[in-house]
Amino acid sequence: MRITGTTRLAGIMGWPVTHSRSPALHGFWLDETGIDGAYLPLPVAPQHIEQALRALPILGFRGCNLTIPHKQAALLVVDRVEPLAQRIGAINTIIVGPDGSLEGRNTDAFGFCENLRETVPGWNPAAGPAVVLGAGGAARAVVAALADAGVAEIRVVNRTLARAAALASDLSMPKVVITIHSWDEVGTAQQRAALLVNATSLGMAGEPALMLDLSLLPPSTPVVDIVYVPLETDLLAAARRRGHPVVDGLGMLLHQGRPGFEAWFGAPVRVTTELRAAILATLAATR
Ligand code: NAP
């Protein structure tokens, strides 16, 4: 990479930001497309997020991604928030407009859907209820994505029921029923389900395992785990043994980066096996 006077700039703000795979992801695409661009890690402490975002147009940045802990706070700073991100309650991508204004988007829902449709092309949103485990930030994006895709019934299972209730109320829309369930009901919630998604942090390296009895889940139902460290979680291994189509979380991470890249750097990009291998290598190197 060579920086010139016309290099297009973008980056990711987080605190800390060193764990982020986004510089490797966008760096891969910049190399692949040969675009004169740079994507930088930007360590920004929580108390400086507003100043840092307002500095983007001043410094000539075309936008940025946001990671922990800025995804909710930034929503209150930007000038416009796309309706999907407003419903989810968080933004992860900012586009600087020609007038220097900031537009906030959430691309996690897009990433989730693209990954699911790419891995299980036959998945039909109208086939039946979806079970979503979790009610945190990622679960909100997953539920919004499923509702927008046309899933008519979404069963949300979460430890903290008040959080699930807030999700159901914020994301409710006509023709979509969102029900909430405690973990005691996780077995019955799987009955007749046409999709199961883990959107909790259970099963992630360093977190408690997710050991789920899948015996009530119809055998052809796809099982998605959005956790990507490790890539093959206990849940996916159990689902694979039972013959379910399985979808790991890495593809969601990669696809969610596409809209930002395309807006900042002006070229379409794809998620390829080479890209997956490159990002997997960075995950393995830091484990
Ligand atoms: P979050 O907002 O902190 O939510 C965590 C969720 O996990 C909550 O529903 C929480 O339940 C549940 N949970 C945590 N520990 C639990 C436990 N011991 N028992 C039962 N439930 C527990 O986190 P997030 O941002 O939604 O992220 C969730 C996971 O998704 C993370 O592993 C993250 O890496 C992954 N993720 C992946 C992608 C991707 O692109 N593949 C994108 C975003 C996130 P309570 O509400 O009861 O606390």
The pick from 110, 201, 246 for probing ligand 1's pocket by mutation, whose C-beta has the most ligand atoms within 8 angstroms, reads 201
The residues, any chain, with a CB within 8 Å of residue 188's CB and separated by 6 or more, are 216
Pocket of ligand 1 (CB under 6 A): 108, 111, 134-139, 158-160, 163, 199-202, 204, 208, 226-228, 249, 252-253, 256
Residue pLDDT, tens place only, 221-250: 999 999 999 999 999 999 999 999 999 999
Catalytic residues: 71
Neighbours of 284 (CB within 10 A): 11
Residue pLDDT, tens place only, 104-133: 999 999 999 999 999 999 999 999 999 999
Q: Would you say residue 28 has pLDDT above 60?
A: yes
**What pLDDT sits at residue 283?**
86
What is the pLDDT of the chain when averaged over all its residues?
Answer: 96
DSSP string covering 135-194:
-SHHHHHHHHHHHHHT-SEEEEE-SSHHHHHHHHHHH-BTTBEEEEE-GGGHHHHTTT-S
Q: Sorting pLDDT into bands at 50, 70 and 90, what band is 87?
A: very high
**What pLDDT sits at residue 176?**
96
Q: How much is the average pLDDT of 40-68?
A: 97
Q: Sorting pLDDT into bands at 50, 70 and 90, what band is 273?
A: very high
Q: Would you say residue 285 has pLDDT above 90?
A: no
Residue 202 Cα to ligand 1 midpoint, Å, equals: 7
For 247-272, letters b (16+ CB in 10 Å) and e give bbbbbbbbbbbbbbbebbbeeebebe
Q: Sorting pLDDT into bands at 50, 70 and 90, what band is 85?
A: very high
Q: How much is the average pLDDT of 183-199?
A: 97
Residue 90 Cα to ligand 1 midpoint, Å, equals: 14
Tell me the residue type at 157.
Answer: V
CA distance 252 to 259: 12
The residues, any chain, with a CB within 8 Å of residue 95's CB and separated by 6 or more, are 62, 63, 102, 103, 105, 260, 263, 264
Q: Would you say residue 287 has pLDDT above 80?
A: no
CA distance 73 to 203: 27
**What pLDDT sits at residue 24?**
96
**What pLDDT sits at residue 286?**
63
Residue 30 Cα to ligand 1 midpoint, Å, equals: 30
The residue whose CA has the least distance to atom 11 of ligand 1 is 159
